[in-house]
Structure 1
């Protein structure tokens, strides 16, 4: 006898199972609470098991059978979504989910605008995002929690393909009244005696400090932070300079105080910004389309992102 449950009923079941209440599930799937309640009752009748224990004031708790079936229901929904996306891929349609990661140092500058403009162009694409440091991005890709990651060519592993897009030379951020702010560029030798606010992230910190090591110098680190916005605030308030590769579109810290950006003189290795991918992700229409669009979008903003347009007036 054929089963008569629907994918919609499974969606309601998963929503309630993961949120713990019909009201929360209703908001998640944008369907009325009575419809969800009816759908779950019909699913229970069709499957012949009770999926939830109903609590009058505390929501719903999955039964033993419900917990076992919840994992299978999620798998069925993923497979159904994959079937739809495969059909779109075969027909050349750009649609489906895209799990995208981004290096936290420039996620706030690049990711929202890129994401918005891409989904406006392809309204059947659903992008989710995660911000992380370099090591975390490697792990997320290998665990298939993300499919692509916008990042730098910094200590890249051999098993993850990288497509470079633009080169970003290091630039120095400082307050407007910093003793070196009046120049057109600044050298490592000039910076070394001054207090430094280090953007202290895995791989990134070693890259910034390598400039001093290569010059036989030692950075005068007085502040450390893992947060790009905090770094900008410390710099603008005179706690020291910092070195970055991506320049914010506005020359101000989050508290509104001005910042000055100067090119770092010398033969310093630039960073290449690009897309890091899990194996074979670029074979789908969606991944190919996003790769091409991201390359064009980022290339158009190269002057803003790099120190090329840093003001020195």
Structure 2
């Protein structure tokens, strides 16, 4: 039994039993991967997968037990390598970040650029997915950290959640919209009469947007949803409805639109950096956290990860109050 065989086994499971896809992910050939799988099964004396013809159909009961242990072994091997790399002050590697489009497009660029300036040999891989899929990427080991937002409390206990910043939503509309020139503050009753364009998560029953309307005895008219804030703005411009989106998604180039504050209408949100507690972080990962959430003491983060100690973090700054990290000159 080898680490390569265990790595191939996990890759097959994570690829939905698609050997071709698994081989691509581990940079192996399909025949080579199949051969290693057969050698592992021959050594163990039982099958790890149920076959249907030449395809894998399911994981056997014994295979599930082996998979669980294989993941633990590979995780500990990764931890040993991380410890060694940190002790050698290695400045190269990769950082995989699972997050949403809004965070990837509007919140992360400055921190990633600062990380690149400090660690130019670290490659960063963004995994933009739907809101409800971010933590699943972290749990499955496909990401080193996650950046996710919540409107109530901390994220599910997948790892160590570090508060990065707080933010509110805005109501976005074309300049010629009747509400754009309104002097009085918007009310939810005003929005309930209008078609809304917002994030995919607003379709969920537990959506904070829906809950806010329900508390007022109202129901939102969701005309369109998207996981991409730029798409929301595009369809607001196209006249499909009034947009409800994160304030950081409104940029200087959006001057053809009017953004009205919704601080008094919708609950405040918090963006979190989530780290796996069972993984030894590389120094560049901690550097990213320091850049993205500079109010957190790096030593406290390291201590809590090492000791699993209870964490009491300082209050996260609001998006409008955060220090602005300059982006490097593209020239």
Which TM-score tier does this pair reach, normalised by the shorter chain? Answer: 0.5 to 0.7
1:163 aligns with 2:130: no
1:219 aligns with 2:186: no
Q: Which residue of 2 aligns with 1:193?
A: 193
Gaps of 5+ in 2: 1-22, 40-70, 297-315, 323-331
Q: After alignment, is 208-217 or 109-118 more displaced?
A: 109-118
Q: Which residue of 2 aligns with 1:139?
A: 136
Gaps of 5+ in 1: 1-16, 20-24, 26-50, 52-61, 306-313
User: In structure 2, do the counterparts of structure 1 residues 65 and 159 end up closer, same or farther at CA, with 3 Å as the change threshold?
Assistant: closer
1:210 aligns with 2:180: no
- TM-score, L = length of structure 2: 0.61
Q: Which residue of 1 aligns with 2:288?
A: 290
Q: Secondary structure at the match of 1:213?
A: helix
Q: Max radius of gyration: which structure? A: 1
| CA displacement, residues 138-161 of structure 1 (integer Å, 9 cap, x when unaligned) | 211110100211110257212332
User: In structure 2, do the counterparts of structure 1 residues 252 and 179 end up closer, same or farther at CA, with 3 Å as the change threshold?
Assistant: farther
How far off its partner does 1:126 sit? Answer: 2.2
- TM-score, L = length of structure 1: 0.64
Q: Secondary structure at the match of 1:223?
A: strand
Q: Secondary structure at the match of 1:244?
A: strand
Aligned residues: 243
Cα RMSD for the two superposed structures: 3.8
What is the distance in 2 between the residues matched to 1:236 and 1:187? 22
Contact in 1 for aligned 2:235/2:241 (Cα 8 Å): yes
Written as runs of structure 1 = structure 2, the 5 A alignment for 1:103-182 is 103-154=100-151, 156-182=155-181
Contact in 1 for aligned 2:130/2:227 (Cα 8 Å): no
Written as runs of structure 1 = structure 2, the 5 A alignment for 1:1-313 is 18=24, 62=29, 64=31, 67-68=34-35, 85-154=82-151, 156-183=155-182, 185-201=185-201, 206-248=207-249, 250-252=251-253, 258-266=256-264, 268-281=266-279, 283-296=281-294, 302-303=319-320
User: In structure 2, do the counterparts of structure 1 residues 213 and 252 end up closer, same or farther at CA, with 3 Å as the change threshold?
Assistant: farther
